[in-house]
Every structure is written in C-alpha cells, then in structure tokens.
C-alpha cells in the first residue's frame, strides 16, 4: 500500500481523548436485551457487520446461560467464516527490561529493585533470533520497557538487526513491536525500519483506575497513551494493535472501550485496528492488583466470543499468559493468533537447558510453556491449520487495503493457501517425523476442500517447489 499522509492528516479533534466513561456506562446500564434481540445481533455479525456500542452492550448483558452459549456458537461460526481454520503463530522476544514507569501490576516497574535489569547486546539479539529460527519461527514481536535507552532509533536498530539474521533455512519475515508510545517522528523512524504491527495497549480505559495503577513515569499520562496510535497513523504506520489488560477494572467496560477505540479508528481513518489483544493479569514480582476485578475463566471465554462478534474483521491475539485449556477453548471462539514456544526471560531462547520461571527476570508469569512443535501438533490434531504467513504485510495488504479484503471475508482466499505453504516449509525443515506425518495429512485435507481448483493446483505446484528446496512462496 502506498501511504498517503494527506488522507490521514490528524485534526486537533482526532487527538483529543475519545473515551467517555459515562457514555460507556450509560450503554451498559441501559442494556436489558431479550433473547430475540441477542439472536438478531448474532445474525447481524454473521453477515460481517460490526456491532455498535449499544449492540455490544446488549451482548455483554445477556447473562442467561443459554444465550451465552448461543453467543459462543455464533462467534465460532463467524471465525470459521472469515478466517477459516488457520491459526497464525509468533513468538515474543524481550529486548530489554529497563523501565522508568511504576505500573503496580508489572514486574518491570522502576520500584521493583529485585528485578534483574538486562538489555540484549547486538550479539545476544543475533543468538536469540538464531535459536528462534532453529525452531521454525518466522514472526516475532519485540518487547521493550519504557526507558530513554529504548528510543525510536534504538528500536529501529534492533528491528534491522533481527531481519539480517539468517540461520540455515531460517529467517524472520515479520517483526512487530510492543513498546512505549512515540511521537510522530519516532513512529516514522521505526516505520522506515520495516516493522509490521505496532502495539500499544491502554491497559485500562478507565481514567481513574488508570491513574491508580500508573502513579509515576511517562505512562501515567492517560491521554498521551490513548492517542499514541493516532500519532502512529500520522507517522505512516497503518497496522496497529490495541488491547486491554483484563483484571484492572470491570471487564464489560473494557470490552466496550475496545469497541469504542475501534470506532475511533474507523471514524477518523476509515480503517480499524489490525489486532485486538485481551491479556489477563498474571502473577508478577511484587505486583499490587486489586482482586475485585479478577476475570474468571467463564467470563474470559465469554468476552472473547463477544469481541469476535463485535469486530468481525479484526485479528484477535491470545498469549501464553493463559493456561493450555483456556487457550484451546478460546481458539474456537475467534482467536486468530497465538504465541508458541514462549520464553519471557531475557536471553532465554539461546539457553539450551529448560529452567523454571524466575519472576525477578520476567515481566509476568506464563501458563503455557510448551514448545512450538508441541503447540503445532495439538493444532493439527484439533483440525487447525498452523500458519507463519507474512504475505499480506509484504504485499501491502495492510490498513485500508486489508480492510477491503477482510471486512467482506475475502481474506480466506489468500490465508488458506499461504498458511499451507508456510506449514509445508515447517514440515520440511523443522518438524519431527510424527508431526510431519500429521501435518501433510492436514494439508491434503485442506487442499481437497478448496473451492477454487485453480488455486488448489497452483498451491500443490508450490508445495512441490518447496520440497525441491525453494522457500518463501506466497500468494
């Protein structure tokens, strides 16, 4: 996509806060949906229409167990309609945990003197990436604390360093970023390094709770963080990831706020966020979290389903924070991306021996520590199509162009064959015999289900080319 800065010129109004707690609570307090109303909204979503705040509030307040079940079934159907059975895989790579913020829930906070502060050198980054490539990873998200040492120039430098690493047949084809908000010039700098998605999570969209959990540091400025991705758009990054940290405030409010944030992007830029994330609070060294707003498993899987219905076209990310059983359940309700083989301790990928988690060297506790291959095996056994695809980003199918394909659901015509091709690479280069046998069976099943026989034939041809040694083939 050719970026057109004049189209995304940010007016003063666009940079003002757009979250109004009274508005959100007004919708939630008024919503008393009937069964008929809930079913109408599920049907609307299945027609690939995004839901309004009022409509989302109706789904959130549908507390009858039978209606909740119908909501989840609707989300499962919608997910299969738009995304098919593919699940995109990635890995997080923590670059540094220096931080000048004091977020009460985070192990990196500046007041945590027990945290072992580490920043990877270029040599260490290369070793980490080589270890990830040796396992078959193709997509990474680089994570940084908020510190003057991790400015835009440094982030851009680390991105370029990662892209240069080639280990045997391995390479990283997509580098996403989770880092502090930047100014417009800073976003331009990291854009020039070739990043994919830039994630900034608001954590909680409730200003008072936000103030409580972020008492000091740059992150204490609610509005600067809230409007950060507007600056990213102005800086040329049209591939954005939003999220809320569930457990800091009422979960229904946070779901509404995520939809409101989506509304904002559509109203100002004619595009929505590329991904939505919904991590739950997990244990961190010395964290101080009010248990009042803890989200139980039932409500968590429910909110995943509601988000899927509310924003049909947006990718949804579920991380290794969650235990295996919850990850497995939530996948069916709308999750389209998960991490695999995750290690949060800085420098841990290059270490060959497995060690228990040390929260004084990590941001938080993870609950799914399986290897990438173990996760791929389970996905294959459950009928999913593991994918390392990066084609859309490299062909310019981002921002407005991605919306053109994904909103009507046409993205499946690219995603399925590209998922098959990237899985074929994994099976050829990295998979143990058992995984490979299962994987080729799943690939054949998906090939036979393709409605477009021309695409099927071309996909089969490209698979043969992969078997002959070619790599990085995509539609």
Select the more confidently predicted residue: 84 or 338.
338
User: CA-CA distances (angstroms) from residue 448 to 69, 78, 88, 289, 453?
Assistant: 32, 22, 21, 50, 9
Residue 5 has pLDDT above 60, yes or no: no
Mean pLDDT of 107-121: 91
For residue 187, name the pLDDT band (cuts at 50, 70, 90).
very high
Q: Work out the burial of residue 268: count CB atoms within 10 Å of its CB; fewer than 13 is exposed, 13-18 middle, 19 or more buried.
A: middle
Instruction: Inform me whether the pLDDT recorded for 400 exceeds 90.
Output: no
The domain 83-370: what is its CATH number?
Answer: 3.20.20.70
Residue 356: pLDDT over 80: no
φ/ψ region of 38 (left if φ > 0, alpha if ψ in -120 to 50, else beta) reads: alpha
* Average pLDDT over every residue of 81-96: 94
Mean pLDDT of 437-465: 96
What is the pLDDT, as a whole number, of residue 288? Answer: 80
Task: Place 242 in a pLDDT band, splitting at 50, 70 and 90.
Answer: very high
pLDDT the model gives residue 183: 97
Q: Tell whether the model's pLDDT for residue 16 goes beyond 50.
A: yes
pLDDT band with cut points at 50, 70 and 90 for residue 4 = very low
Residue 114's pLDDT is what? 86
Higher-confidence position of 366 and 320: 320
Predicted pLDDT at 247: 95
Q: Which has the minimum average pLDDT: 49-58, 197-206, 331-340, 409-418?
A: 409-418
**Alpha carbon 80 to chain centroid, angstroms:** 18
The CB-based long-range contact list for 65-73 (8 Å cut-off, 24+ gap) reads: 66/35, 67/35, 67/38, 68/302, 70/38, 70/39, 70/42, 71/38, 71/42, 71/302, 71/305, 71/306, 71/309, 72/301, 72/302, 72/305, 72/333
Where do the structural domains in the chain lie, given as residue ranges?
23-75, 83-370, 409-467
pLDDT computed for residue 15 by the predictor = 61
Mean pLDDT over residues 3-17, rounded? 49
Q: What is the pLDDT of residue 73?
A: 98
Is the separation of the CB atoms in 460 and 469 below 8 Å? no
pLDDT above 70: residue 60:
yes
Residues facing 316 on adjacent strands: 276
Is residue 407 scored above 70 in pLDDT?
A: no
Looking at residue 399, what is its pLDDT?
53
250-263 per-position pLDDT tens digit: 999 999 999 999 99
Q: How confident is the model at residue 8 (pLDDT cuts 50, 70, 90)?
A: very low
The whole-number pLDDT of residue 313 equals: 87
Rg of the chain (C-alpha set): 21
């Amino acid at each position: 996509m050719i970026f057109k800065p004049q189209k995304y010129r940010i007016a003063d109004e666009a940079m003002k806060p757009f979250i109004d707690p009274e508005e959100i609570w007004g919708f939630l307090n008024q919503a008393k949906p009937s069964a008929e109303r809930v079913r109408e909204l599920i049907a609307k979503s299945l027609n690939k229409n995004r839901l309004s705040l009022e409509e989302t509030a109706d789904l959130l307040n549908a507390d009858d167990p039978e209606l909740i079940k119908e909501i989840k079934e609707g989300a499962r159907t919608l997910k299969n309609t738009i995304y098919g059975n593919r699940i995109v895989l990635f890995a997080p790579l923590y670059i540094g945990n220096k931080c000048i913020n004091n977020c009460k829930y985070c192990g990196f906070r500046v007041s945590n003197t027990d945290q072992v502060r580490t920043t990877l050198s270029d040599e260490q980054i290369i070793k980490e990436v080589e270890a990830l490539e040796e396992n078959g990873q193709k997509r990474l998200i680089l994570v940084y604390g908020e510190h003057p040492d991790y400015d835009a120039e440094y982030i851009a430098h680390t991105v370029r360093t990662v892209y240069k690493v080639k280990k045997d047949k391995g390479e990283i084809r997509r580098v996403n970023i989770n880092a502090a908000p930047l100014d417009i010039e800073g976003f331009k700098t990291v854009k020039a390094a070739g990043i994919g998605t830039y994630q900034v999570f608001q954590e909680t969209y409730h200003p008072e709770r936000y103030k409580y959990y972020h008492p000091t540091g740059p992150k204490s400025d609610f509005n600067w963080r809230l409007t950060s991705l507007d600056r990213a758009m102005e800086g040329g990054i049209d591939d954005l990831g939003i999220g809320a940290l569930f457990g800091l405030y009422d979960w229904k409010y946070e779901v509404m706020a995520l939809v409101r944030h989506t509304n904002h992007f559509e109203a100002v830029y004619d595009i929505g966020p590329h991904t939505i994330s919904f991590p739950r609070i997990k244990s961190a060294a010395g964290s101080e979290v009010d248990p009042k707003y803890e989200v139980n498993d039932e409500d968590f899987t429910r909110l995943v389903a509601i988000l899927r219905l509310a924003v049909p076209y947006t990718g949804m990310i579920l991380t290794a924070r969650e235990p295996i059983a919850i990850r497995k359940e939530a996948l069916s309700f709308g999750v389209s991306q998960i991490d695999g083989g995750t290690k949060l301790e800085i420098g841990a990928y290059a270490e060959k021996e497995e060690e228990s988690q040390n929260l004084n060297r990590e941001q938080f506790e993870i609950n799914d520590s399986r290897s990438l291959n173990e996760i791929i095996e389970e996905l294959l056994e459950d009928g999913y199509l593991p994918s390392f695809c990066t084609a859309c980003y490299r062909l310019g199918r981002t921002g407005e162009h991605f919306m053109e394909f994904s909103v009507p659901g046409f993205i499946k015509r690219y995603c399925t064959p590209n998922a098959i091709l990237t899985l074929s690479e994994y099976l050829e280069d990295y998979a143990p015999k058992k995984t490979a046998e299962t994987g080729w069976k799943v690939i054949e099943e998906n090939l036979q289900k393709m409605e477009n026989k021309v695409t099927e034939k071309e996909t089969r041809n490209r698979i043969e080319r992969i078997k002959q040694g070619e790599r990085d083939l995509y539609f």
